[in-house]
Structures are given as structure tokens and as C-alpha cells.
Amino acid sequence: MKLENDMGEKIFSSLLDVYISPEIERRQEIGTLSNTFSLERAQIIFYPDEHPPVVLLNEELKGIEAIIKIKEGVNKKPGEPIFENEIEGIQKITLKEPYTNCAHVTIIKLNNLWNIIFNFTYNKDKAKKHIEIAKQFWTLAKVAYKNELWNAFYDNLFSAVELSMKAFFLLFPDKAFYKDTHNGLSTSVNRFANLGNIQISHKSTFNKLSGRRNQARYLQGGDLKIDVDEARNYLKTVDEMIEDCSLRVNS
């Protein structure tokens, strides 16, 4: 976002008033920042826990990856340097260690115009790991399906869908969404689906697999009734759910 409209100006002003200016003043008061300091870029780091936000100034913005938009008519070969006057704007910034699980708002001055880049997705690194393991369980479920190992199929497929949903809720700052219990996660899935934030078909698959998992793993509720077409549809839907979560994490 560039400061080319009233909304951009208001956001920029709020960021200065609430986060950046107080941090500059605090550092100047304790003598760690010059009174002649000139702001060129800043980043506000938001943690997924109770840790207060951190404000980084100018050269402190390190270890980030940026996707930039080059001005029309500028042609660059791979490896060639790109200069500030050749940049139209910044489209995305990805945080690196130690901030991989944090959200951020970043402001950078380019060609005397302030750019605001933000991403309020939390726990990306943790969510990616959950998705990686979900894919492993899904692969095992597919093997079990081909070999008609139905108890193993439903057990592994539920583990896959549960991990993918855990990855989804990790992206939010509220820990209440991703409690480390089966019932807690189930409650969150159903609440979000009822609000339209998760597809009803995904909620239904999650709930049905939860019941089948109890039969498959704990032998509760009698013998499994196998419908091969239904099992194949479950396999397909969970694959879609994992992919959907993966896209959200990498956005």
C-alpha cells in the first residue's frame, strides 16, 4: 500500500503515533538513538503470544525476503542489481529468523513515497511443519486404502485432517482456536464452519472421520462399515483441505 489516498495516510499516521514515534522518543531519551535520527524504514513485529510488539528501525530490518514490482519498461537479467528508482513498489515481505512465527507491519520509503506492507498471519513456520506431517499421514492413508487396510486408513486419514486443521488455526493469534485436545479442535472447526470461514463439506469430513477414527483405533461403536466410494471421497477431500491450508500458510 502506498500513501496515495486518505486511508493510507490514516494508517501511516496511526502506526507513527502508536508504535514508531514512541519507540524513537524512548531511545532518544535513554541515549541509544541520535536526536537527528531520520526515519527511512520501520517494522513492527507482532508475536503470537503475550510478548509485546517490537519496533525495528532503519538498518535493524534484516533477514527479510521481499517481492518487488519493477517499473514498466525496466528490464533486468537474473543477478543484475536493481536500484531504488527502478522499483515501482513492494508487494510482499517474508520474515526470517527469529521472527518466522510473527506477524508484521513494515513501512519503507521508496522514491520519497512511503510503502506499507503487512501480513497478520501468525505461526507460519509451525503451521508449515504441521502440514508436512499431515501429508505424511495422508500418504499412509492412501497406501492403506489401496491395500484395504481400513482401520489404518481411517486412523491415518483423521490424523492428516486434524493436523491440517491445527495448521489452519495456528495462523490466528488466539490460542483458544488451537487447543491441544481433540475436542477443543473439533469445537473450533465447527464454530468456524458455522460462521462461513470453513467449507461445510470440510467440516462434515472432519466430523465423520473423527467418529470413524474412534471405531478404527479404539474399536468403539462396533465394526467399521466400509463404503469404498465414500472412503475414496474422504481421501480426496482431505487432500483438498491440506492443500487449502498450505496455500493459506504460503500467502
DSSP state of 63: S
Q: Please, what is the average pLDDT of the chain?
A: 90
Domain carrying residue 165: 124-249
Whether pLDDT at 202 is above 60: yes
* pLDDT tens per residue across span 4-33: 567 778 889 999 999 999 999 999 999 999
Domain-terminating residue out of 119, 135, 158: 119
Residues 144 and 35 in one domain: no
Q: Are residues 86 and 31 in the same domain?
A: yes
Please indicate, yes or no, whether residues 48 and 155 belong to a single structural domain of this protein: no
Arithmetic mean of pLDDT, 81-99: 87
Specify if 87 maps to a domain. yes
CA atoms within 13 A on the CB side of 1: 16
Q: Which pLDDT score, from 0 to 100, does residue 68 have?
A: 82
Q: How confident is the model at residue 176 (pLDDT cuts 50, 70, 90)?
A: low
- CA nearest 189: which of 226, 180, 141, 199? 199
pLDDT of the residue at 34: 96
Residues 6+ apart with CB under 8 A from 212: 154, 158, 224
Return d(Cα 174, Cα 161) in angstroms, integer: 21
Per the domain annotation, does 1 fall within a domain?
no
Tell me the sheet residues that pair with 154: none
The three-class DSSP label of residue 96 is coil
pLDDT of 52: 95
**CA 164 – CA 238 distance, rounded (Å):** 9
Helix 228-249 vs helix 124-146: angle between axes, to the nearest 10 degrees? 160
CA distance 163 to 168: 9
Band (54; pLDDT cuts 50, 70, 90): very high
List, for residues 140-174, the tens digit of each pLDDT value. 999 999 999 999 999 999 999 999 999 999 998 87
Q: Strands, E, within the chain: which ranges?
A: 41-46, 54-57, 64-70, 87-95, 103-110, 113-119
Of 240, 234, 163, nearest to 205 (Cα)?
234
- Could you give the angle at the alpha carbon of 167 between the alpha carbons of 197 and 184, nearest 5°? 75
Higher pLDDT, 202 or 86: 202
Q: Of 119, 136, 152, which residue sits at a domain end?
A: 119
Q: Which long-range contacts (CB under 8 A, 24 or more apart) does 196-203 make?
A: 198/168, 201/237, 202/237, 202/240, 202/241, 202/244
pLDDT tens digit sequence for 95-149: 999 999 999 999 999 888 899 999 999 999 999 999 999 999 999 999 999 999 9
pLDDT in tens, 215-237: 898 888 778 889 999 999 999 99
Q: Are residues 31 and 97 in the same domain?
A: yes
Query: Per-residue pLDDT for 2 more than 60?
Result: no
**In this structure, are 30 and 113 located in the same domain?**
yes
Q: Is the predicted pLDDT of residue 180 greater than 70, yes or no? A: no
pLDDT of residue 139: 98
In the numeric block, the cell 486408513 is attached to 153
Higher pLDDT, residue 228 or 185: 228
Model confidence at 177, in pLDDT bands (50, 70, 90)? low
Residue matched to cell numbers 518487488 = 68
Domain boundary among 71, 97, 119: 119
